[in-house]
Structure 1
Amino acid sequence: MSPTGSSERGTRGLFGGLSGGPPWARGPGGGPGGGLPVRSSALVALLQLVGTAGEWRHQASGRVPLDAFGYLLLVAGPVLLVLRRRRPVAVVAGTAAVTLVYLAAGYPYGPVFASFVVAYCVAVWSGHRRAAVLSLLALYGGHLLLAFAVPHGWLRGAGAGGGGWPEFGLGLVALLLAAVAELLRIRHEQAAARHAARQAAARRRADEERLRMARELHDILAHSISLIHLQAGVALELIDDRPEQARAALVTIKAASKEALGEVRQVLGTLRGPGDAAPRRPAPGLDRLTELTEQAAHAGLTVTVRTVGGPRELPAGVGLAAFRVVQEALTNVIRHSAARRAEVLLDWSEPDALTVQVDDPGPAAAPEAGEPAGGGNGLAGMRERAAALGGTLTAGPREGGFRVRALLPTRGEGSVATSAREAR
């Protein structure tokens, strides 16, 4: 626990009950839950009444004893504090006026400034610094007039002043009050800025997690549904003339749909509680590349896998990204190319990177009726996966066909951090 955090909690504990905290911590209606701070205002009233009555016994006999009007003025300030969250400007001006009238009436000193101190802090925290400072200057200026400008014969008792040094001390107290209120305001603004930054970071993490899940679901469903769509068309064409081949297509559909359901459940499991979020099986990697080639073969696409260099163990996130790049590239060949073959290259020759390349010899197939024009999100998702690992992905036409090439770093902070996040 940091000293700064302890200091902030101490500040809230000391002033939160009196002032209701800064405006950004208040609920609808001006305070937490919209209530009025009656209890804390009553505590200020008790402080002023008991403290002033006790102090009067130790002051010079020239001060006027408390009477009904004096007690009324001591209570008036705390009564105004009940509205300090909703009307901070009116309350700070009102408490200054009540305090000045009390002093002008010659009543004994004591904690009579407590209600004004609270109102001043609330006004500063609420953003009404100008009104607060003007009220402070008016109260201190009025006290100076009572001490030096107004004839003592016009005042009750010994008047408001006690000489130059007491007034100088009171001025220092006023400056201290202004400095403390500004310090507390700055600390509250800093705490609010840190809170906003934490919320923004949490929203950013949530957005990244949603993007990751959307990317996973797209890659899973696009591949499986494309395969199912193709095999369903084959089954419809052959079901009357060659039922055995139609049966094989239906078996492929069943296997692809079962595989897709399992992966979708694994991705959606991250939305559950912490105890249920652990995946029941590891994230797919290049060890499942054979499954992709077999599924492509069922769809009529012959895939040749070529390896350069010696394979090595990959972080889970890098392996998943490589698997998804191959999966999405083969899906695009099945959906958008007239070619019945494709080549996958895994280049391990670089010590700190893996190059994944998928070549479609082409040519492009005519789009089916009803298929929307333009590309989907597959290439963008592959680029995002590579960028998240600190790598790159390029995709574009070549020699009548199409090539997808991804460079995925296998070491470094980017791949390690993303691997931990993707493997969850």
Structure 2
Amino acid sequence: MRSKSGFAPYLALITAVFQIVLSQGAEWGQRAFRQPLDPWAYALLLAGPLMIVVHRKYPIPTALVAFAAVYLFIWGGYPYGGIFISPIVMLFWLVSRRHRPTAWILAGVSLALFIVYAWSTHQPQRGLFHDLAVSSFILLTMVAAELARIAGERRAQQQRAAEEESRRQASEERLTMARELHDVLAHNISLIHVQASTALHLMDDHPEQARTALATIKTASKEVLGEMRSVLNVLRDGAPRSPTAGLDRLAELVERSGLEVELTREGSRPLPPAVERAAYRIVQESLTNAGRYAPGSPVAVRLEYGPRELVVRVSDTGATRPAVLAGSGGGNGIPGMRERAAALGGTLVAGPSGTGFQVEARLPLPEETTS
């Protein structure tokens, strides 16, 4: 895209051509009462376009020179017409580049000088109509310049708002990716740790059970690599933005957890992708916590599909053997689950329940439509 400063020479060339051609046409039409063009007149016709070239660097001095050239051209008796193009360009640029007072002062001075010139030199067109016509032309030029400024500022504001929204969405996407990575890593690494500890404990006395634990580790490590790849793919252009996991994979999740899990569903209905992903991650994190802090405990996972909300309830009855990872971790699992629920307008309550622990999330759902 060509910069504005790079466009100035082309605009100056176009302005010069139009000023000369229009002035030559005006010379023929006004030959009865205006002076013919001479070298001095052509020099004045080129002064304004030359100022356009360097106007961006010296806005006020170049505008003064361009208007001075117009005043000398008119007071020299040369024909009206093309000479006014340069000052119009200058007025638009002054207004759009935060030099509005200078633009209005030059417009007022020009109006006064043109009226004084017409009356002091007894021009045949002088009179009330001439004064109103000059005033209207200058006023309309300034109004058009102000409207162009307002439109430009509005476009710039919309662009800034769009950029800010883009930055906000990027920030939210990074937060979502971080949460996804946390859930994927926390669940699978905890599972791998627990199964590795189990395998080491059973290696000598119960090698077949140790083999099962090692097979679970292999599956979990493959799963974590696949899910991390799915999450990180959102960084690539054109990558799908669909959830990396859904409730259709709950049975697989339960099987890999190595826990005694009872999975029940009450009702069924289509779910928005965001709700399905959040529900899956909440169950995943809850199973991770159960494996870490309540090993040996049976876990109940219940999904209740209501007309207005999905209830996800995960509960255990307490540990039956020492917890392998009870002293590990940063404790971000429950806050992360609460953030997921809150992001969808839902709630999550987690706390002791009898001798065990229970997590209950309520995620709002859109009203079902019947066809």
TM-score range for the pair, normalised by the shorter chain length: 0.7 to 0.9
| Correspondence for 1:232 | 196
Once the two structures are superposed, what CA deviation does each residue of 1:360-400 show, in whole Å capped at 9, x if it has no partner?
4447969767x46x522x33432333234332222334456
Quote the offset at 1:66 in angstroms: 1.8
Amino acid at match of 2:263: V
Check if 1:134 corresponds to 2:130.
no
Quote the offset at 1:268 in angstroms: 3.0
SS in 2 for 1:35: helix
| Correspondence for 1:209 | 173
| Correspondence for 2:182 | 218
| Structure 2 Cα separation of the partners of residues 265 and 90 of structure 1 | 61
| Structure 2 Cα separation of the partners of residues 50 and 400 of structure 1 | 96
Q: 1:256 aligns with which of 200, 220, 226?
A: 220
- Residues 306-325 of structure 1 correspond to what in structure 2 (within 5 A)? 306-307=264-265, 309-325=266-282
| Structure 2 Cα separation of the partners of residues 386 and 47 of structure 1 | 66
| Structure 1 Cα separation of the partners of residues 124 and 48 of structure 2 | 19
Quote the offset at 1:260 in angstroms: 1.7
Q: How many residues align?
A: 366
| Correspondence for 2:80 | 109
| Correspondence for 2:299 | 343
> Which contiguous aligned blocks of 4+ residues in structure 1 show a shift greater than 6 angstroms?
158-161, 366-369
| Structure 2 Cα separation of the partners of residues 291 and 204 of structure 1 | 35
Check if 1:200 corresponds to 2:164.
yes
| Structure 2 Cα separation of the partners of residues 338 and 277 of structure 1 | 37
**Bigger CA drift: 341-350 or 244-253?**
341-350
Once the two structures are superposed, what CA deviation does each residue of 1:157-198 show, in whole Å capped at 9, x if it has no partner?
x66973342122101101100111111111222222222333
Q: 2:344 aligns with which of 366, 389, 401?
A: 389
Q: 2:263 aligns with which of 305, 308, 311?
A: 305
| Structure 1 Cα separation of the partners of residues 66 and 236 of structure 2 | 54
**Bigger CA drift: 129-138 or 56-65?**
56-65
Residues 242 and 343 of structure 1, relative CA distance in 2, 3 Å threshold: closer
Amino acid at match of 1:227: L
Residues 367 and 331 of structure 1, relative CA distance in 2, 3 Å threshold: closer
| Correspondence for 1:357 | 313
Residues 34 and 366 of structure 1, relative CA distance in 2, 3 Å threshold: farther
| Structure 2 Cα separation of the partners of residues 271 and 277 of structure 1 | 10
SS in 1 for 2:177: helix
Are the aligned partners of 2:283 and 2:301 in contact in 1 as well (CA < 8 Å)?
Answer: no
Once the two structures are superposed, what CA deviation does each residue of 1:323-367 show, in whole Å capped at 9, x if it has no partner?
2111011112223x2453253342537333221112244479697
Amino acid at match of 2:285: E
Residues 127 and 399 of structure 1, relative CA distance in 2, 3 Å threshold: farther
Provide the identity percentage: 42
| Structure 2 Cα separation of the partners of residues 168 and 63 of structure 1 | 22
Unaligned runs of 5+ in 1: 1-26, 153-157, 414-424
SS in 2 for 1:37: helix
| Structure 2 Cα separation of the partners of residues 60 and 399 of structure 1 | 107
| Correspondence for 2:288 | 331
Unaligned runs of 5+ in 2: none
| Correspondence for 1:90 | 61
Check if 1:53 corresponds to 2:8.
no
Are the aligned partners of 1:271 and 1:277 in contact in 2 as well (CA < 8 Å)?
Answer: no
| Structure 1 Cα separation of the partners of residues 211 and 346 of structure 2 | 43
Are the aligned partners of 2:348 and 2:359 in contact in 1 as well (CA < 8 Å)?
Answer: yes
Q: 2:211 aligns with which of 228, 244, 247?
A: 247
| Structure 2 Cα separation of the partners of residues 393 and 295 of structure 1 | 25
| Correspondence for 1:191 | 155
Amino acid at match of 1:346: R
| Structure 1 Cα separation of the partners of residues 76 and 106 of structure 2 | 19
| Structure 2 Cα separation of the partners of residues 139 and 243 of structure 1 | 101
CA-atom RMSD in angstroms: 3.1
Check if 1:277 corresponds to 2:240.
yes
**Bigger CA drift: 394-403 or 250-259?**
394-403
Quote the offset at 1:251 in angstroms: 1.5
